């Protein structure tokens, strides 16, 4: 399923859930007992506040654990003060979550300029819809899970397990849809995307799920004050994640600044390192590299020409493709030596050092890192097109590189590069077929 079709399917499902929520909630909108309004307000305000402060997780993911935990807890709270029947609240929870989420996102937009993403609103509606469906709608022995839990006053442990199970089911649906959307966005393999998603947000998702169950269990005894109170541990975890995100962002800015040293010194043309890094990541993803491997590949690609600062005079046009193999290796080794002096960047040194190794020598001597083989192919391609990727230039560059595939360039990497360029419409189908790869 392609990205557009999947987006439409998610939006349609969310729209149907909201419509069902409106139908179920409409009869009771004006009949809410006064004593329940404080509880509903506590949930809605917490959701809105959680949306105003989102956390960036690995891979530019945006996650709102506080808002998500409050949404799930609201769907599972078995009893609010007052005579209002719990099994009639499902529709109101869905509609209330939608309103609070959009309100929080709007405030976030006004504060930071970040756009309101319809997909994120739809995912929130779906995850709450799943929780409501499992907990309040699906029949279990002639009753619902919610009604059964209310009768387990002496078996609170069983009620807790049921709530955790409901939250896990809803979170699983949320992560599954997120994985499918992310895989479609990045043209990545579904299995690899699932592994990356679990690695990136798994611990935070588990904490969110358990917090939602704790709030739902404790609400009857503590009341509305329990909503923000039991979110404090999750809030502290979110602060720690936000700090890690800030560190990653600072590291990325440092890498970008270092990558521009060669441009500022006149050794490479403007934007060359950034273009090589961007295209290397696309090729690496095509070849099935995981997210953390792609992060290192991007960093190595940004710094792949760092060794040129050791040259007495710049290479004309900065194109290492045009110098001798011996000079290419010297430049690569000089860049690797610079990186090896820094603990944080030392792991990139082997990739930068081996970027000048021809494919034939990789087979003869030792396995060259995949990242180095990718950078070699992509760097040569960018040297040939000079930052002007019109169809004729792309076809001519790939035709020239095709002559050295298996000797200089790894065939698998070259095929992946051509597939990415064809997919992104930077080369025609006719030119792609003529390469005969």
Return the DSSP state at 395: H
Question: Which helix or strand (DSSP H or E) is residue 388 part of?
Answer: none
Best CA proximity match to 70, nearest among 178, 226, 204, 222: 226
pLDDT per residue of the chain (437 residues) written in tens, 0 to 9: 666 788 888 889 888 988 888 877 666 555 555 556 677 888 899 999 998 887 777 666 778 889 999 999 998 886 654 444 444 467 888 988 999 999 999 998 888 888 888 888 999 999 999 999 988 888 877 778 887 777 776 677 788 888 899 999 999 999 999 888 888 888 888 888 888 888 888 888 899 999 999 988 888 777 778 888 888 888 888 888 888 888 888 888 888 888 888 888 888 888 899 999 999 999 999 998 988 899 999 999 999 988 888 887 888 777 777 788 888 888 889 888 988 888 888 889 999 989 888 887 665 545 788 999 999 999 999 988 877 778 888 888 999 999 989 888 999 999 999 999 999 888 888 888 888 77
- What does the alpha-carbon distance between residue 192 and residue 87 come to, in Å, rounded to a whole number? 40
Joined together, the tokens standing for residue 80 give 């609010």
pLDDT at 82: 46
Secondary structure percentages of the chain, helix, strand, coil, to 5: 75, 5, 20
* Distances from the Cα of 186 to the Cα of 71, 100, 256, 311, 417, angstroms: 29, 30, 22, 38, 15
- What does the alpha-carbon distance between residue 166 and residue 189 come to, in Å, rounded to a whole number? 29
Task: For the chain, list the domains and their CATH numbers.
Answer: 3-245 (no CATH), 260-434 (1.10.3210.10)
Strand 55-57 relative to strand 139-140, pairing: unpaired
Best CA proximity match to 46, nearest among 32, 76, 66, 73: 66
- What does the alpha-carbon distance between residue 51 and residue 194 come to, in Å, rounded to a whole number? 24
pLDDT at 86: 43
pLDDT at 36: 63
- What does the alpha-carbon distance between residue 143 and residue 47 come to, in Å, rounded to a whole number? 29
**Residue 46, Cβ neighbours under 10 Å: how many?**
24
pLDDT at 301: 93
- What does the alpha-carbon distance between residue 418 and residue 287 come to, in Å, rounded to a whole number? 12
Rounded to two decimals, the pTM is 0.82
């Amino acid at each position: 399923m392609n990205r557009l079709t999947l987006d439409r399917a998610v939006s349609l499902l969310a729209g149907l859930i909201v419509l069902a929520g409106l139908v179920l909630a409409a009869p009771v909108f004006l009949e809410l007992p006064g004593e329940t309004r404080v509880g509903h307000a506590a949930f809605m305000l917490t959701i809105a506040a959680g949306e105003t402060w989102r956390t960036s997780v690995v891979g530019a993911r945006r996650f709102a654990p506080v808002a998500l935990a409050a949404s799930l807890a609201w769907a599972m709270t078995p009893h609010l003060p007052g005579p209002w029947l719990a099994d009639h609240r499902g529709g109101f929870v869905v509609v209330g979550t939608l309103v609070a989420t959009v309100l929080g996102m709007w405030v976030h937009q006004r504060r930071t300029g970040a756009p309101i993403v319809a997909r994120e609103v739809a995912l929130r509606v779906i995850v709450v819809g799943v929780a409501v469906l499992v907990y309040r709608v699906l029949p279990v022995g002639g009753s619902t899970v919610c009604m059964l839990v209310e009768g387990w006053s002496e078996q609170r442990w069983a009620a807790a397990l049921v709530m955790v199970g409901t939250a896990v089911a809803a979170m699983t649906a949320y992560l599954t849809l997120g994985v499918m959307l992310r895989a479609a966005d990045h043209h990545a393999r579904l299995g690899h995307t699932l592994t990356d998603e679990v690695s990136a947000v798994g611990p935070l998702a588990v904490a969110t799920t358990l917090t939602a169950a704790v709030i739902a269990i404790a609400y009857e005894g503590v009341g509305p004050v329990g909503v923000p109170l039991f979110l404090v541990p999750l809030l502290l975890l979110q602060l720690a994640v936000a700090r890690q995100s800030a560190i990653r962002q600072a590291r990325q800015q440092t890498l970008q600044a270092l990558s521009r040293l060669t441009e500022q010194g006149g050794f490479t043309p403007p934007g060359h390192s950034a273009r090589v890094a961007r295209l290397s990541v696309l090729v690496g993803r095509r070849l099935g590299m995981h997210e953390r491997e792609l992060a290192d590949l991007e960093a190595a690609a940004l710094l792949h020409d760092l060794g040129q600062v050791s040259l007495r005079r710049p290479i004309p046009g900065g194109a290492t493709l045009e110098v001798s193999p011996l000079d290419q290796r010297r430049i690569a080794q000089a860049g690797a030596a610079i990186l090896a002096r820094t603990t944080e960047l030392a792991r990139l040194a082997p990739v930068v050092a081996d970027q000048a190794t021809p494919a034939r020598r990789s087979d003869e001597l030792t396995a060259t890192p995949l990242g180095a083989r990718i950078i070699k192919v992509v760097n040569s391609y960018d040297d040939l097109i000079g930052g002007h990727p019109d169809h004729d230039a792309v076809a001519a560059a790939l035709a020239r590189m095709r002559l050295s595939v298996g000797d200089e360039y790894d065939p698998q990497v070259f095929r992946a590069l051509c597939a990415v360029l064809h997919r992104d419409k930077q080369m025609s189908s006719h030119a792609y077929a003529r390469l005969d790869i």
